[in-house]
Structure 1
Amino acid sequence: MQRYELTDQEWDLLAPLVPSAVAGRPRVDDRRVINGMLYKIRTGIPWRDLPDRYGPWQTVYTRFRRYALRGVLTQALQQIQAQVDAAGDIDWLVQIDSTIVRAHQHAAATSRKGGCVGRTNRTMRPLADPVEV
């Protein structure tokens, strides 16, 4: 087994949730293609650089896109989580330390001067029209 690939136990959970083949060309093995998807996601490589052991990159990409659009991946995750949770194998206790969750400097949408937003080199647009009293 290669790094980033499903174990036999993981595949046994996932296999029943993968859509079956339809008539047409011979289908590339589902486990091989899903391992290719995982490899791409975990390494961050471009689709075209996917190793040959996962089959043609176009096949892996097409099936990934099809699964994503149909919600197959989300449904599989939900069903596997439900199975594992029912067995009591998930620890739902989570803690987040705010020192590691940092916002980008531009995340706070405050204005610099005079209550204006949308500043460009040419114009400044006021937040609202001035009210005459």
Structure 2
Amino acid sequence: MRDLYWLTDGQMERLRPFFPNSHGKPRVDDRRVLSGIIFVNRNGLRWRDAPREYGPHKTLYNRWKRWSAMGIFIRMMEGLAAGKAEPQTIMIDATYLKAHRTASSLRVKRGFRPPDRAHQRGHEYEVACGRRPERTSARLLHDSGPDQ
């Protein structure tokens, strides 16, 4: 996976007005870090799986987290979109997006317990194979008398 992504000089010049001012200690190379952030997001990698050429993965994550909270990336996108003379349609293919299994944000209500599907399926399998006799409730036995 050495097809690394690097921003060009022209791209960096277009993005430079959106960078926040550096206070105190100078930042590490913006091109390297921003290229690494784009590479990780584009390939759906974990931060720790970023190639070493982009620098420490912690630096990539910290810059992404800090600039996201400050709205830097949103300003970049809005600024770049406003700079275009002709309107364009931007589409995201759903096959490209990845979601973590906890991203569904389904909350379990208190007192609610979902049915144990694995146990139910196991019972159905055993009944179908003849390993366990099928259980019928007392109510069904009572309602299905000889006169009905």
TM-score w.r.t. structure 2 length? 0.56
Does residue 20 in structure 1 map to residue 21 in structure 2?
yes
Residue pair 1:4, 1:39 contacting (<8 A) in 2 also: yes
User: 1:56: Cα distance to partner?
Assistant: 1.1
Deviation at 1:55, TM superposition (A): 1.2
Post-superposition offset of 1:91: 2.7
Please report how far the alpha carbon of residue 14 of structure 1 lies from its aligned counterpart in structure 2 after TM superposition: 0.7
**How many residues in Structure 1 have an aligned counterpart in Structure 2?**
95
| Unpaired runs of at least 5, structure 1 | 95-99, 101-117, 123-133
2:40 aligned with 1:71: no
- Residue 37 of structure 1 aligns with which residue? 37
1:15 shift after superposition? 1.3
Cα offset, 1:76, TM superposition: 1.1
Matches of 1:75 and 1:16, distance apart in 2:
10
In terms of fraction of residues, the more helix-rich structure is 2
C-alpha deviation, 1:22, in angstroms = 1.3
For residues 57 and 70 of structure 1, what CA distance do their matches in structure 2 show? Answer: 20
Return the index of the structure with the highest Cα Rg: 2
SS of alignment partner, residue 5 of structure 1: coil
TM-score (normalised: structure 1): 0.61
Using the aligned pairs only, state the percent identity. Answer: 35
Amino acid at match of 1:91: Q
Q: Is the 8 A contact 1:28 1:55 kept in 2?
A: no
The answer as to 2:115 corresponding to 1:121 is yes
Classify the secondary structure of the residue corresponding to 2:53: helix
The CA RMSD measured in Å over matched residues stands at 2.5
Cα distance in structure 2, aligned partners of 1:93 and 1:63: 25
* Structure 2 portions without partners, runs of 5+: 96-111, 117-148
Inter-partner Cα distance in structure 2 for 1:42 and 1:28:
22
Kindly tell me: are residues 80 and 93 of structure 1, through their superposed partners in 2, closer, same or farther at Cα, counting changes over 3 Å?
closer
Q: Structure 1: which amino acid aligns with 2:45?
A: I
Correspondence 1:26-105 to 2 at 5 A = 26-84=26-84, 87-88=85-86, 90-92=87-89
2:66 and 2:37 map into 1 onto residues whose CA distance is 12
C-alpha contact 1:21 1:27 (8 A) present in aligned 2? yes
